[in-house]
Structure 1
Amino acid sequence: MALRLFEEKEHVAAYMQYRVENPQEVINRMMDFMKPKVQQKFSLAVDVGCGNGKGTMLLAPFFDQVVATDVSPAQLEMAQANSLCSNITYRQCPAEELPFESSQVDLVTAMMAAHWFDRPRFLKEVDRVLKPSGCLALLGFPMDMELEYGTATSALNNICEEFYAALRPFTNPCQGSSLSKIYLDMFESCTYPDKEWNDCLRVTTMVTVNSFIGMVETATGYQKLKHLDATEAKRLSDDIRNKLMAAMQVSSADTELTMVIKYFYMFARKP
């Protein structure tokens, strides 16, 4: 059964505010993978573990209907409140028990969510609901973003590593020592012969120092530390923020810099 996480309203709101949108480039690659074998218009996509729904909205232009699912009522409430697409609907259900008839779905995707699932059961359920030639697409990224800011880049990334190292003891065991390895194992266990794996797609986005700190604070490791010792969690965030600003030689935490996220993904087509 998928884990129940990201459900406290404060955490859900921070997730919406600070988590970056999934890159359009990956969505485009996903659709390019689907198109060579299936020429008709796509009817149904399912975004499993949709969270705040930012990634779901990127699917809307390519399908008649998109169904976003999650186990968290709070995440679904946030996703619905911010939805801009009339062809998206939302359903509360486990990833391993999708509310669809067999051979009904063109695309099943999970964006930064599949590591929380009961993965063997999820893959079996995906195989059940996918149409022949339907596709599975999974993507994620490790919470070890890099920062770039002129000559301060090297110093910034040493400070980032200090932040990540402090949070590793609090990381959920489901994330393992290597998140991409979990997805690679899923890729290798998928029996579909037509499949594709990409270990690292570097995507850059502009963020402020505060936004970077806020994004790391949404991670489960930070959230666990916060529950155990809120004072220590705040001290850690404040210390890292001050060190980043000092390395950049700026006085405002609203100063922008470049953040690099290293996405991995797998695509697989059902025979």
Structure 2
Amino acid sequence: MADSNLIRIYEGEKIAEIYSKHRYAYPPLVAETIMNYLRKIYTNTDGNTFEYMLDVGCGTGRSTHAFSPFFKSILGIDISEAQIEQAKKINESDNIIFKLSDGHTFPVDDDSVDLVTCGAAAHWLDIKKFEEECERVLKPNGCCAIYISTFQDVRNLVETDDKMKPGSNSHVFRTCLREFLDDINAHERNYIAHDGYQDIFDRIHNTSKEWLTFRHEREYTLDKYRAYARSINDYNIFMNKEKPIVDPIDVLAKKIKKTLGKENEPDEEVKMIIEYEYRFIMLTKPNTGTDW
């Protein structure tokens, strides 16, 4: 399912720890959006607790834990041993277990899963094989949720200029982020994530596929955003391999300061709001006897 050579960029204890420390947990509305969709499909249940969920590409388990109240049992799988070890280390949920998996075959029985989730990992997967495995393991009317968050806009936390309105910096900000990917020689699959998984949606064969979206804002200081950027694995690979004179994060930070009109302020005093768009590709396995 996944190219193991690509996924190994997430290997290493240090990378796993940085990832766990500086990646924010998804907002509760992510799990709520997915569960509301599942409840609509499973109209013959009370909608309180489902049996079994599988989280593919779970990483350190941050996305997995949000679903703990809704399932009797959850399995999170990832190809990275370091990520799985970190997930086990911080796991405090009795109904969640984490397992190392090669990613080619889900380690669960046929027709046994109510929900398959895949957060911010689908761009590393063989989508055709992923679909085939979802068809195999999902119960009839079971659902799959593939989701990603994309940076959309940045603005000052306290607005001092009437022209600084939501959406006014969207194009500039997203251009800065794409240039940052260029600067760190990011793998081409990261651009699929940057573009909100439209390419993945187009390649999915399941005719039930549909988009769900919502917007969410988070407050940052620029130094906190720098810490997030340092958790990007392609950045760490680039820095270790190329050892550039100019840090690409310094370049990105300078562009953000210019966008906000804060060129002369220290990073810790540049307070900003970043707007995300959360995009979900929702799939449903039809009743037995019909084609996927």
TM bucket normalised to smaller: 0.7 to 0.9
1:203 equivalent to 2:203? Answer: no
2: CA distance between counterparts of 1:163 and 1:138? 22
In the alignment, the residues of structure 2 paired with residue 30 and residue 93 of structure 1 have an alpha-carbon distance, to the nearest angstrom, of 24
Q: Which runs of 5+ in 1 are unaligned?
A: none
TM-score with structure 2 length normalisation?
0.81
What RMSD in Å do the two structures reach over aligned CA positions?
A: 2.5
Secondary structure of 1:231's counterpart equals coil
Give the stretch that moved more between structures: 129-138 or 7-16: 7-16
Partner secondary structure for residue 19 of structure 2: helix
Q: TM-score, normalised by structure 1?
A: 0.86
Corresponding residue pairs, total:
265
The question of 1:181 aligning with 2:198 is answered yes
Instruction: Note if contact 1:115-1:182 (Cα within 8 Å) is conserved in structure 2.
Output: no
Among 108, 129, 153, the alignment partner of 1:146 is 153
Deviation at 1:244? 4.2
Match of 2:249 among 218, 223, 237: 237
Q: Percent identity?
A: 24
Instruction: Tell me the amino acid that sits aligned with residue 164 of structure 1.
Output: R
Q: What is the DSSP-based 3-state SS (H/G/I as helix, E as strand, rest coil) of the residue aligned with 1:125?
A: helix
1:162 aligned to which of 171, 176, 197: 176
Question: Unaligned regions of 5+ residues in structure 2, if any?
Answer: 287-292
Q: Deviations over 1:128-178 (max 9, x none)?
A: 000111110110134x45322024786797467335314226121233453
Say if 2:238 is the partner of 1:225: yes
- Aligned partner of 2:35 in structure 1 is 31
1:20 alignment partner, SS class: coil
1:263 aligns with 2:278: yes
1:190 maps to 2:180: no
Structure 2 CA distance, aligned partners of 1:204 and 1:59? 21
Cα separation, 1, equivalents of 2:64 and 2:96: 8
Runs of at least 4 residues of structure 1 off by over 6 A?
A: none
Cα 1:172–1:133, aligned 2, differ >3 Å: closer, same or farther? same
**1:50 is paired with a residue of what secondary structure?**
coil
Check conservation: 1:45, 1:65, Cα contact below 8 A: yes
Which has a greater percent of helix?
1
Local SS of the residue matching 2:114: strand
